């Protein structure tokens, strides 16, 4: 039985925003585990209420707008960032029956369209702040996000060619016998690297490199405006993890357990991988980051498309 649309919308938003909030605690606990230290452990059991304390603190912080900033654009920028991530979740099929937009036949294109709009958030934040550090961070973010969106889109073409559809539900159902992570391992690796760059996560957090740019594009932000940037970054991690699960790990499919639990387990494992990368890898120089994209990931994406097309042609009847 398909749940009512309002229940699906409210449930998805509540889970997503709750996850984005609790990830701030989970990340610090996991980093503490991997770096042989405690992490947050004072507020609540295992420090669980640390995220709540941080949320309360950020709500009461002074919501200051610099006098030299472009006020309307300054206020709008963090809202755009949060809105684009939430919109992208509208087409993610958590199970065969749980998806806000239902079975949208261009679901994958819709996700890329909304993620592309997310560039405006960081660019406008950097420009409206009227600060050199913020502007440099915004320019870095624009170049990085636009570049890596190219490789992210190309890396999924093998999946689309194999499944024969842009519908995310059709792509999941096409993996009934074999998850696409095996035949599309190259595309999966490129997609994962591009996803890390899209969400500005370490080691690809060059737009907000604190040892170079203060805090990058959100240097001048405080209070809940900064909180929206913070939450949209963590929601973006969940989004990319959910996309990898949907495109390459069979989505909700799996034995014994309910479909929603399979989807949650796969997505959660990928989120932990994002956090582990932060603990394990150093930040490259900006020119190294861009060279990785254009000189390595682009050829690999095109090679994956050619190889997938060749295999499909050889398998075609007649």
Strand extents, DSSP E, 202-268: none
Would the pLDDT of 308 be above 70? yes
What is the mean predicted confidence (pLDDT) over 16-22?
83
Would the pLDDT of 213 be above 60? no
Which region, left, alpha or beta, applies to residue 225 given φ > 0 means left and ψ of -120 to 50 means alpha? alpha
Would the pLDDT of 114 be above 80? yes
What is the mean predicted confidence (pLDDT) over 55-59?
84
In the chain, the percentage of residues whose pLDDT exceeds 90 is: 23
What is the mean predicted confidence (pLDDT) over 142-147?
86
CA-based nearest residue to 239, from 47, 74, 111? 111
Q: Please measure the distance between the N-terminal and C-terminal CA atoms of the chain and give it in whole angstroms.
A: 42
What is the mean predicted confidence (pLDDT) over 227-235?
85
Structure tokens at 311: 């295999």
Which pLDDT band holds residue 212 (cuts at 50, 70, 90)? low
Would the pLDDT of 102 be above 80? no
**Which residues 6+ apart lie within 8 Å of 190 measured at CB?**
151, 152, 154, 155, 297, 300, 301, 304
What is the mean predicted confidence (pLDDT) over 268-273?
92
What is the mean predicted confidence (pLDDT) over 150-164?
91
Which pLDDT band holds residue 224 (cuts at 50, 70, 90)? confident
Structure tokens at 202: 């370490």
pLDDT at 70: 85
CB contact burial 219-229 (16+ within 10 A = b; e otherwise): bbbeebbbbbb
Q: Please state, as a whole number, how many other Cβ atoms lie within 10 Å of the Cβ of residue 119.
A: 21
Which pLDDT band holds residue 251 (cuts at 50, 70, 90)? confident
pLDDT at 209: 61
Structure tokens at 170: 């059709």
pLDDT at 190: 93
Check: CB of residue 126 under 8 Å from CB of residue 136: yes
2-11, 225-234, 251-260: the lowest-pLDDT one: 2-11
pLDDT at 55: 83
With 0-12 CB in 10 A as exposed, 13-18 as middle and 19+ as buried, what is 105? middle
């Amino acid at each position: 039985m398909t749940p009512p649309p309002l229940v699906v919308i409210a449930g998805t938003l509540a889970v997503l925003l709750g996850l984005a909030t609790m990830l701030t605690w989970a990340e610090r606990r996991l980093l503490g585990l991997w770096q042989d230290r405690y992490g947050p452990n004072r507020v609540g059991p295992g420090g669980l209420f640390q995220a709540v304390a941080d949320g309360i603190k950020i709500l009461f912080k002074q919501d200051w707008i610099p006098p030299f900033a472009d006020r309307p654009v300054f206020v709008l920028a963090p809202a755009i960032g949060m809105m684009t991530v939430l919109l992208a979740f509208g087409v993610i099929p958590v199970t065969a029956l749980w998806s806000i937009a239902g079975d949208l036949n261009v679901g994958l294109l819709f996700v890329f369209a909304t993620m592309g709009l997310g560039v405006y958030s960081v660019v406008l934040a950097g420009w409206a702040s009227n600060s050199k550090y913020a502007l440099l961070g915004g320019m870095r973010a624009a170049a990085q996000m636009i570049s890596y969106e190219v490789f992210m889109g190309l890396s999924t073409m093998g999946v689309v060619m194999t499944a024969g559809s842009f519908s995310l539900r059709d792509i999941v159902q096409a993996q009934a016998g074999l998850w696409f992570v095996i035949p599309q391992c190259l595309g999966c690796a490129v997609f994962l690297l591009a996803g890390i760059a899209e969400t500005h996560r370490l080691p690809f957090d060059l737009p907000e490199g604190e040892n170079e740019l203060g805090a990058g594009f959100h240097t001048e932000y405080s209070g809940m405006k900064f909180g929206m940037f913070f939450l949209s970054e963590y929601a973006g991690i969940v989004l990319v993890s959910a996309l990898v699960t949907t495109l390459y790990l069979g989505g909700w499919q799996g034995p014994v357990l309910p479909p929603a639990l399979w989807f949650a387990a796969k997505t959660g494992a990928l989120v932990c991988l994002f956090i582990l990368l932060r603990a394990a890898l150093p930040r490259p120089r900006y020119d190294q980051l861009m060279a990785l994209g254009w000189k390595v990931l682009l050829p690999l994406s095109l090679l994956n498309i050619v190889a997938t097309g060749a295999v499909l042609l050889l398998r075609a009847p007649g």
